Each structure stands twice: as structure tokens, then as C-alpha cells.
Structure 1
Amino acid sequence: MDYTSPTPMGATEVNAIKYYDYDSSVTEDYRDFSNPCDKSFVRDFRKYYEPPLYVIITFLGVLGNALVIWIYAFYRTRVKTMTDVYLLNLAVADLLLLLTLPFWAADAIGGWTFGPVLCKINSACYKINFFSSMLLLTCISVDRYYVIVQTTKAQNSKKKRLLCSKLVCVIVWSLAVVLSLPEFIFATTKDSEDSTWQFCTMVYHNNQNNRTKIMVLALQILMGFCLPLAVMFFCYACIIHTLLKTRNFEKHKALRVILAVVAVFVLSQLPYNAMLMVEASQAANVTITDCHVSLSFDIATQAMKGLAYTHCCLNPFLYVFIGVRFRRDLLKILHHYGFVSPSGKLGKTPFRSSVMSDTDTTQALSL
């Protein structure tokens, strides 16, 4: 993102310096320091940190999410519950988001060489799938709450809920497109100060007060973290309360799954969103004026952004492959294509539903 922070009250000397932002490579005209602040180290860190990390995340994420889509494509009658619909859309959203990472890795190495149109498209595709993924996680939490806590109502309205889930997915994708409009409008390429390379970034036209930048950041924090987190905490708290009251079920395994889902979401998303909050504060009212503090902030932001991306490759394992049903279906597909023998252990495993699988009444509580 590209912005010029307002000059602090009473400042008499202004020096333009290079400032690295976590959504792109570098911005310019950062005017909050009394002396020039050399941030070339941040670019070097990004060059060596992001590409290998993004390659690993993309490889694991594409493999996991492609397997999920493959299972749904192989078993066409499998998409018969709300959670199935949400999981399929989540896999598509995560897969499409992961496909934007190689472009950002290339940008970290040698700047943006793909032109302004692809810059805008790549930025928008990233945000569309980011918001879709987070909103679909919210929908999965609500559906699990409804199936486990509101068991009777859930059983009596299966067909209606399945139809509703498809409508919800259309709304989620449409909302994600709307939330990504800032990328369509403001994302573009910019030359570096020495004009030796370009970077893909958000360029706002009201740099004097940064209101647009603050609104964009606030929107991402609210819809991409705060809302999903609040819904997940409420739904899973109610689910845990219900599980603790049940008897004769392997509720400790179900509790581990729930805690893992919430823990991974918080640990991967909270640090990055905390950095977004600091940047929004910086845009609204200059809070970082020391060069060393700014360097540390930039490095931490780059690291936390990479951590946030890991959620895309972990989703298939958290929401899908922890369930015996998906593992059994995968084994059947592998056997169908001759990759495994029919005597595999999972092939003989009696069916037990996952807490993330939409099943009848109490079966949804066990793994």
C-alpha cells in the first residue's frame, strides 16, 4: 500500500525515505522521521523470506485443497449437506488464493514485472478468495452449531438447509467481490525512486488524511478476522457446552478438534491483524517515528503475513482429513486408480463421522 503520512505537529524538517509495506514491496515519501531511514534490509528480508515460504505453502495448500475437490468430483452425490457445500467452496477459495502467491513471491525477488492490469487482477483475486475463505469458515461454525446444539431442528430441515447453503455461498462470493472493490480501484504498479524496478501496491489519492486507507484496513480487520472470530467463539463455546453434557461419546476427541480449529485460526490470523491495526493507527495518527522501531515493525509484519497464509494449507487437514469419512473416500479413490491395495487399514475402518461432518444427531459429536 502506498501512502504519505501527515507531518507531525511542529516538525520543521521532512525527508522522504523508502518504506516497505506488507501488501506489496515498497512505498515512498514516508515523512515521519527527522532523518532518512534506510530500509533496504527490509527488502532483502522479504526477498529471502517470502519466496521459499510461499513455495512451501502453495505446494501443501494446492495438494490438500485439490484432493478435497477431487474427492467431491469423484463422489458427485457427496455434496448433500450444508457443511459439504461450505467445505467444497472453502477448498476452491483457498486454492484460488494460493495461486496468487507465486506472483507475490516473484514480486519479492525482482519487483513486479507483470504489468498494471495483472497487478490489479492478482490483488483483487487474492482479496476475493481471502474474504470468501474467512466467511465460509464462519458459515461452517454456524452449521456445526446448528447440527450439534439444535439437533432436532437440524434433522427436520435437511433439504431446506441444503438449498439454503447454496444460496449462502452465492451471497458469500458476492460479498467478497464487493469487499474487494478497493483492490480493483486502487491497486496498480508504481516505479521505485530510482526507476529501476516496479512494485504492485495500493495507491490512494487522498494521501493527506489517509481516510481511504484506514477504511480499507478497518474493513479487512472487521470482515476478515473480528467477525469470523466472534462467530467461531460463540458457536464452538455452545458446542463444547453441549459436548460436556453428553455421555457415552468420545467427546474428548471432538473437543480436541474444536480447540485445534480455534487455536490455528487465532495463532495464524491474530498476529497479522494486530499489525494491520498498528498500521491503521499509524495512518490515522503517526505513532512510529523511530527508524529502528519502524524497521522492526516492517520485519515483523512480513513474518506475520507469511504465518497468516499458512491457514490456507491447513484448512483441508483441519476441516476435512481429520474425519474418517474423507480419509476413507480418499483411500477408495486411490485404490480405484491403483495407488493402494484394497487391504489398507482405512478401508476396513468402520464408519464414524467427524465432528466436522454433517451427520444425524449424536454421530456429529464423535470422530
Structure 2
Amino acid sequence: MNYVNDSTTDIWTTEDTSAYDQDDYEGIFDSGICDKSWVRDFRGYYEPPLYWIIFVIGALGNLLVVWIYTTVRNRLKTMTDVYLLNLTIADLLFLGTLPFWATDVTSGWVFGPVTCRGVRAVYKINFFASMLLLTCISVDRYIAIVRVTQAHNFKSRRMFYSKLACLCVWVLSCLLSLPEMIFADVKKPQNSLSSCSMVYPSDDQNLTKVLVFCLQISVGFCFPLLVMVVCYSVIIRTLLQARNFEKHKALRVIFAVVAAFVLSQLPYNGHLVMEAAQANNATMRKCDELKAFDVAGQVVKSLAYTHCCLNPILYVFVGVRFRKDLLHLWHCLASGSKDKVKTVPKRPSVMSDTDTTPALSL
């Protein structure tokens, strides 16, 4: 049984050239073999430094959020606090996989097959968890701003539901990562570095790959985007009807949240749609087209990864309370007082259930 993988670093051929994957190895096209060595070189120069930059910036931002939650605040007071902390944990776990991929690009996969499955599974678990938690935040903002009376009457019950929702998100994310646990493996092509890739049986490789792509696109992008658009559209209408001079600040943040999600995720998911179509029915057969397609895939993927750096800014630091907590923490550290760090005056939460404007203002 022949196998193919899904990494552009693995450019190799099988005896059965009809079962090719243009993103994985050199296939035989119109005029012979398509040499993708330039794609490998581009990936080697482009991805490692970018991954390390995303890792450092994202780790600093998300660790700062965790620090505020564990030192400045004594407990999680709202549903959004629960979602934000889980989102931060998901982003941190996702960021933890980037050094492995940076090493994979430059030196090949040197960590073994078990680590390969584990890293790919952790990456996909936290990818889905992040997207679903952003969806939960959108629903929570809809309830807190549009359904104010119901939110106030069931405040204690909502905290329980938020923790239950987070548990369901993590369980569902683990289930959605099963393809990585099943198909991930280490491949070492001839005259090339080994890589950690998805390896599908050749019998139904195209169908399996298309199904995996469809699962990621639908659950990881289309469903969250639909929920965000619906929830924030109703929120915008509610804010426009409210007599509040600061509502325009809230609208700016909403547009920033949706724009950051769409701009970072839409190109990558659009590329996945094209890749699924290519796996199902190869439409690109010219070598130049395939190389350009592979390079574009690397660029939009790295753009999607930057969203974990934006989450602390868009969903946390724009909140009034977090800005004040940061200033309080800075003053305490500057004065050398450790005891004052935990004595913060009570204020509305980062996205308060009772005050819409501070919840979303810049």
C-alpha cells in the first residue's frame, strides 16, 4: 500500500503516479517532474523566524493575561472571564507547538512519531478550542447586551453554564483532533529531511483528506463566523438604538473583533477549500501554478497563526478593567510592593454584564 503525506517539505514520488498529491511530493505533470525545491527553500527562510516571533509575542501577551487573573483577581466573576481564561490557555498551548514546527522546517522532524502525533493533536485541539471559545464569547456578549433582564435574573446559573460550555468545547475539540491522532506520522523521503505529516492510506486518500478539510473549514471557520455575524449584528442594532454617547467606541471594537477574525482566517480557509478541491479533482497541473499555490498556503497559514497574538488585545486589553489592572500591577511592581498587587478596588469586569460601554470600549 502506498501512502502520501500533506507536507510541502516532503517532495517525493510513488510508483503509482496517478495517486499524487500536489502539496506533498513531486508529481508528474504536463512536461515532466515538478521540482519544488524553491518552495522548500522559501519555507525554510520564511517560516522559522516568523514562528518564533509569533511565539514570543503571543506568549508574552497571553502569560500577562494569566498573571492578571492569578495575581490581581481572586476569582472568575463573569462568564466572559471564564471564556477568556480558557481562550488564553488554548492560545498558549497552540503557541507551544510552534517551536516544534520551526525546528521541523530547518532540521526535519527529530522528535519521533509519538511526539509527532501529540504535537499535531495539541495543535488541532487548541485550534478548534480557540475558534469555539470565540463563538461562546460572541453568544455571551449577545446575552449580556441584548438580553439584559434575562442575563441579570440568571447570573449565577450562567456561570455554571459557562463552565459547562468550556468543558464541552474541550471535549469536542479533542474529538475533532482524532484524524491527527490516527493519521499523523513521520515520513523520511529519499534525499530529503523527515517531517511530521498527515499520512493517508492510498486507497481512499483523496476522500479522507477532503473530509478532514471540510471538518476544519466548517467547524473552525464557517460556524464561528456565522455565530459572530449574527450575534454582533444584533448587538450593533441594540447599541445604535441606545442613547449612549460612547456607543460609537463600542461599535469600533466590534468591527475590530470581526475584522481581525475574518482577515486572519478567511484567506487560510479559502486556501483550504482550494486544496480540498485539488485533492478531489486536480485542476492545477502546471508546475508554476502548484509552486505559487504552495507558497500562498504558507503565507496565509502564518497569517492565521497571528490571531493568537491578537486575542489578548482584542478580547482582553480593550476592556476597561484590564487596562486599570495593568496600570495597578505596573505601579505595584515599580514601587516594589507585592502585597498591594492583590488589593484591587472592585470595578466592572472586562466585559461587564451590567455595563455595556466599558465592556467594549477602546
* Same-fold status (TM-score > 0.5): yes
Any idea what the Cα deviations from partners look like across 1:101-141, whole Å, max 9, x if unmatched?
01101111121111111111110000011100000000000
Partner SS, residue 204 of structure 1: strand
Amino acid at match of 2:32: N
State the match for 2:13 in structure 1: none
* Structure 2: runs of 5 or more not aligned: 8-15, 338-343
State the match for 1:141 in structure 2: 138
State the match for 1:345 in structure 2: none
How far apart are the structure 2 equivalents of 1:283 and 1:168?
Answer: 35
Q: Relative to 1, partners in 2 of residues 1:137 and 1:3: Cα closer, same or farther, differing over 3 Å? A: closer
Q: CA shift at 1:80, angstroms?
A: 1.2
Q: Relative to 1, partners in 2 of residues 1:47 and 1:130: Cα closer, same or farther, differing over 3 Å? A: same
Over the aligned positions, Cα root-mean-square deviation in angstroms equals: 2.7
Any idea what the Cα deviations from partners look like across 1:240-284, whole Å, max 9, x if unmatched?
000100113301110000000000000000000011000100111
Q: Relative to 1, partners in 2 of residues 1:58 and 1:125: Cα closer, same or farther, differing over 3 Å? A: same
State the match for 2:12 in structure 1: none
Count of aligned positions: 346
Instruction: Tell whether 2:307 aligns with 1:302.
Output: no
Any idea what the Cα deviations from partners look like across 1:124-171, whole Å, max 9, x if unmatched?
000011100000000000000010011110011110000110011000
State the match for 2:177 in structure 1: 180
Instruction: Tell whether 2:352 aligns with 1:358.
Output: yes
Aligned equivalent of 2:281, options 277, 282, 285: 285
Amino acid at match of 2:315: Y
Checking the alignment, whether the CA contact within 8 Å between 2:59 and 2:95 is kept in structure 1 is: yes
Q: Relative to 1, partners in 2 of residues 1:33 and 1:279: Cα closer, same or farther, differing over 3 Å? A: farther
Q: CA shift at 1:329, angstroms?
A: 1.1
State the match for 1:7 in structure 2: none
Q: Normalising by structure 1, report the TM-score.
A: 0.88
How far apart are the structure 1 equivalents of 2:142 and 2:21?
Answer: 48
Instruction: Tell whether 2:110 aligns with 1:107.
Output: no
Any idea what the Cα deviations from partners look like across 1:200-259, whole Å, max 9, x if unmatched?
100011455511111111000011100000000000000000010011330111000000
Partner SS, residue 338 of structure 1: helix
How far apart are the structure 1 equivalents of 2:161 and 2:85?
Answer: 15
Q: Relative to 1, partners in 2 of residues 1:162 and 1:186: Cα closer, same or farther, differing over 3 Å? A: same
Amino acid at match of 1:149: V
Partner SS, residue 32 of structure 2: coil
Shift >4 Å, 4+ stretches: 13-19, 31-34, 348-354, 361-366
Tell me whether 105-114 or 177-186 shows the greater mean CA deviation.
105-114
How far apart are the structure 2 equivalents of 1:299 and 1:238?
Answer: 39
State the match for 1:28 in structure 2: 25
* Structure 1: runs of 5 or more not aligned: 5-12, 22-26, 342-347
State the match for 1:80 in structure 2: 77
Q: Normalising by structure 2, report the TM-score.
A: 0.89
Instruction: Tell whether 2:122 aligns with 1:119.
Output: no
Q: Relative to 1, partners in 2 of residues 1:277 and 1:169: Cα closer, same or farther, differing over 3 Å? A: same
Instruction: Tell whether 2:56 aligns with 1:53.
Output: no
Partner SS, residue 48 of structure 1: helix
Instruction: Tell whether 2:162 aligns with 1:165.
Output: yes
How far apart are the structure 2 equivalents of 1:244 and 1:84?
Answer: 26
How far apart are the structure 1 equivalents of 2:282 and 2:95?
Answer: 34
| Residue correspondence of structure 1 range 1-367 to structure 2 within 5 A | 2=5, 14=17, 19=22, 21=23, 27-28=24-25, 30-194=27-191, 196-208=192-204, 210-338=206-334, 357-363=351-357, 367=361
Tell me whether 85-94 or 327-336 shows the greater mean CA deviation.
327-336
Q: CA shift at 1:33, angstroms?
A: 4.6
How far apart are the structure 2 equivalents of 1:18 and 1:193?
Answer: 17
**Identical-residue share of aligned pairs (%):** 56
